[in-house]
């Protein structure tokens, strides 16, 4: 039976990783892989995480299963981190949260839940969106369509076109929104725009699904969740998927969550039972370790403060790199306008060069990023930024 399978092409990002590792050029730069890197090019283990791990080792008493919903304590703390402990949907008892294997597990669980509610539903994703959104949602059988979002020519959000599309939607539609630090373009909605989307979701009846993968890496923990909170306060139902990979640095621990907001506590309990049944059929129960560390950190004022300071340093480094890159490009005499990079948030931006120029940078200069021109800003550092800018000047 397996002999009938056909070879599939490598995932673009994973293929870049392999090519980068094999490249002997000592000047090579990896701007493709979507993980945070420090000034030395390492993805560090946060000190808050290290201390939480020590505490966990000393206090853990069992390795038994934790059940399909995961840790209740983790769920409560993640809800408070994302929505705010006093958000109306929490105080009204309308939320339930399941711990998942990363943000990907949350998205897939959300897609399966949507399919149970309405197998004919259409999931609308931004153009562009994170590439894995489409298989994670679409492989369940849900139809995927795109709404306008980013104008490459002006490096800005096409908000009027986005709203014009959303105005045509209704109760059979799900709209996937990036909570902050849009991947891949880095262009985020402002609070007025979030308010307009919230009013439209309430009026038209479509279900918002907000993917919050980078809370704290844009403007701050509270600021990055502000738009999502506006939306949650306006609509009767909503799904939120979240990842602890980036802001806690727990990439390989696969720690995430799905928050379902229902219209009432009764509907919440029904949704909870369905979500537990969904995940039981997919992965049965989530891994415990990463969520245990997050729970330890968020349960401790001291560790929360330490984590927040480390997250602030990561965020400031990314924002400083954005400004420095634009300054270096301007100083190099490159005429093309790259100032949009300083206005965008998070680790990613489109550099705005052609696929041919991306291939040339890879072939001639060993600079690796995907042909859409999405770069991971965190892959830049003091040791490679001048080489990057000089190489960019050559292809332009």
Residues catalogued as catalytic: 130, 211, 246
Write the CB contacts of 185 (distance below 8 Å, at least 6 apart in sequence).
128, 149, 150, 344, 348, 349, 350, 374
Q: Which pair of structure tokens corresponds to residue 66?
A: 């934790």
Q: How far is CA 52 from the centre of its chain?
A: 24
Q: In degrees rounded to 5, what are phi and psi of residue 239?
A: -120, 140
Give the contacts of 383 (CB within 8 A, at least 6 positions apart). none
Structure tokens at 130: 């994170």
Max distance between CA atoms of the chain, in angstroms, equals 63
Is residue 362 within 8 A of residue 27, CB to CB? The reply is: no
DSSP bridge pairs for 374: 350
Encoded tokens for 375? 């770069």
Asked whether 112 and 164 are in contact (CB, 8 A), the reply is no
Question: Rounded to an integer, what distance in angstroms lies between the CA atom of residue 232 and that of residue 198?
Answer: 8
Q: Between the CA of residue 96 and those of 171, 180, 260, 262, what are the distances in Å?
A: 22, 22, 6, 8
Buried b (16+ CB within 10 A) or exposed e, 22-33: eeeeeebbbbbb
Asked whether the CA dihedral 226, 227, 230, 233 is positive or negative, the reply is negative
Residue for token digits 């990036």?
178
């Amino acid at each position: 039976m397996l002999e009938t399978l056909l070879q599939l092409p490598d995932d673009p990002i994973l293929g870049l990783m392999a090519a980068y590792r094999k490249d002997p050029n000592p000047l090579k730069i990896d701007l493709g892989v979507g993980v945070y890197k420090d000034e030395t090019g390492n993805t560090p283990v946060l000190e808050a995480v290290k201390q939480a791990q020590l505490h966990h080792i000393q206090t853990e008493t069992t390795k038994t299963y934790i059940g399909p919903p995961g840790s209740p304590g983790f769920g409560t703390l993640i809800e408070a981190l994302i929505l705010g402990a006093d958000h109306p949907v929490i105080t009204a008892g309308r939320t339930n949260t399941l711990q998942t294997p990363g943000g990907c597990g949350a998205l897939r669980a959300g897609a399966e839940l949507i399919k149970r509610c309405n197998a004919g539903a259409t999931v609308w994703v931004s153009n562009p969106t994170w590439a894995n959104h489409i298989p994670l949602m679409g492989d369940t059988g849900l139809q995927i369509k795109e709404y306008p979002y980013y104008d490459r020519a002006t490096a800005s959000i096409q908000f009027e076109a986005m709203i014009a599309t959303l105005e045509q939607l209704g109760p059979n539609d799900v709209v996937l929104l990036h909570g902050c630090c849009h991947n891949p373009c880095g262009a985020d909605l402002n609070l007025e725009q979030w308010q307009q989307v919230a009013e439209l979701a309430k009026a038209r009846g479509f279900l918002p699904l907000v993917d919050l993968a980078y809370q704290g890496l844009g403007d701050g923990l509270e600021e990055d969740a502000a738009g999502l909170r506006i939306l949650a306060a306006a609509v009767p139902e909503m799904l939120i998927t979240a990842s602890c990979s980036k802001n806690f640095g727990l990439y390989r621990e696969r720690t995430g969550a799905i928050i379902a907001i229902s219209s009432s506590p009764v509907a919440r309990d029904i949704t909870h039972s369905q979500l537990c049944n969904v995940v039981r059929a997919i992965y049965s129960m989530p891994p415990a370790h990463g969520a245990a560390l997050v729970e330890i950190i968020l349960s401790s004022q001291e560790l929360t403060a330490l984590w927040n300071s480390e997250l602030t340093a990561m965020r400031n480094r990314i924002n400083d790199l954005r400004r420095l890159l634009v300054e270096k490009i301007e100083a190099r005499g490159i005429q093309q306008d790259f100032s949009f990079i300083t206005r965008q948030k998070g680790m990613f931006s489109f550099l705005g060069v052609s696929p041919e120029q991306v291939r040339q940078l890879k072939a001639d200069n060993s600079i690796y990023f995907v042909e859409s021109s999405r770069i991971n800003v965190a892959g830049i550092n003091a040791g490679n930024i001048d080489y990057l800018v000089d190489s960019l000047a050559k292809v332009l």
